[in-house]
């Protein structure tokens, strides 16, 4: 990704959340604010690009729904785009809100993109300090959209610019009021795939070096079948191809044991692990549409000893 450009994956993720909020029932994760951060032109452009690319996704579906653009868009969005952004956000938010009930005061969102947690939970404005970390261009884009949609940024929301491929530094976080003495919750959603194994390991090391015991992280990761598994309608293979074509290639995947060892070196224990089968059971059971858990993608909650 070029330094001057906002992340395309963050925009498409917001599109999938906005689409789900407006058109899908029942809701897995209702991000009703996402649509306010995407212009109508961007929404239409993504829609048009997806519909025009149906031959790439599935030639049989292209033939079956020929001329029916809304059904084609629904199929692509529910099969390819939405499952992971929706379910991982639902899982992460459940953990965050539970931590808040236990007294959490600091939440760091790594790779925040167009995250809307702060604006969907104004009741936490006075009690939870939220630090959103992402590329400078992505954050400028988001601030502009918040301003255009007339959202007031509360004093407890802090934007911290960072490049995750470089060594993680707390300096900018500290400048924004981050307190090392407070138990901290981190989320790392839709990021681990785009870092190498070494970069992921280094990030965990630096994140948890100084924060107190009981601090934790929720993240999603791809298992060791990422580059082999085709998935339903080739969607895993398509995801890898689309990421590469957008200039944000996927770089890493892990076995459970491998990840457990990496986390242990950083002083972390796995508290909860959700496999694709478990994710499907928790978030996608008894649906009558195309939505189902993505193959090869797992969610994990790890806690500092």
Predicted confidence (pLDDT) at residue 5 exceeds the cutoff of 60: no
Strand partners, 242: none
Across the beta sheet with 268-274, the strand order is 157-161, 129-134, 106-110, 184-188, 216-222, 297-304, 268-274
Q: Which helix (H) or strand (E) holds 204?
A: helix 197-208
Predicted confidence (pLDDT) at residue 1 exceeds the cutoff of 80: no
Residues 198-208 have pLDDT tens digits of: 999 999 999 99
Tokens standing for 264?
């242990």
173-182 mean pLDDT: 95
Mean pLDDT over all residues of the chain? 95
Model pLDDT, residue 222: 98
Q: Which helix (H) or strand (E) holds 80?
A: none
Tokens standing for 123?
């009741």
Q: List the domains of the chain with CATH numbers.
A: 83-304 (3.40.50.150)
Residues 256-296 have pLDDT tens digits of: 999 999 999 999 999 999 999 999 999 999 999 999 999 99
CB atoms within 10 A of CB 103: 9
The single-letter DSSP state of residue 294 is: P
Residues 25-48 have pLDDT tens digits of: 999 999 999 999 999 999 999 999
């Amino acid at each position: 990704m070029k330094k001057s450009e906002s992340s395309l994956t963050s925009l498409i993720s917001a599109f999938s959340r906005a689409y789900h909020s407006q058109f899908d029932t029942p809701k897995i994760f209702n991000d009703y604010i996402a649509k306010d951060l995407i212009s109508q032109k961007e929404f239409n452009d993504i829609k048009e690009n997806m519909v025009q690319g149906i031959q790439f996704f599935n030639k049989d579906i292209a033939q079956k729904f020929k001329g029916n653009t809304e059904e084609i868009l629904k199929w692509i969005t529910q099969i390819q785009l939405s499952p992971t952004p929706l379910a991982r956000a639902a899982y992460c938010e459940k953990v965050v809100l539970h931590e808040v009930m236990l007294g959490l005061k600091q939440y760091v969102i790594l790779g925040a993109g167009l995250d809307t947690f702060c604006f969907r939970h104004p009741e936490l404005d006075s009690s939870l300090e939220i630090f959103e970390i992402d590329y400078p261009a992505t954050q400028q884009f988001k601030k502009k959209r918040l301003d255009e949609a007339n959202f007031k940024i509360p004093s407890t929301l802090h934007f911290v610019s960072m490049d995750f491929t470089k060594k993680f530094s707390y300096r900018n976080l500290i400048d924004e009021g981050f307190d090392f003495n407070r138990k901290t919750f981190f989320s790392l959603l839709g990021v681990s795939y785009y870092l190498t194994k070494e970069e992921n390991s280094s990030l965990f090391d630096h994140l948890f070096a100084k924060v107190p015991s009981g601090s934790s992280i929720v993240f999603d990761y791809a298992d060791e079948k990422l580059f082999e598994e085709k998935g339903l309608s080739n969607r895993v293979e398509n995801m890898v191809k689309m990421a590469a074509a957008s200039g944000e290639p996927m770089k890493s995947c892990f076995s459970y044991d491998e990840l457990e060892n990496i986390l242990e070196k950083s002083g972390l224990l796995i508290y909860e692990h959700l496999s694709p089968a478990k994710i499907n059971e928790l978030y996608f059971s008894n649906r009558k549409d195309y939505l189902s858990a993505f193959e090869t993608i797992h969610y994990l909650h790890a806690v500092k000893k």
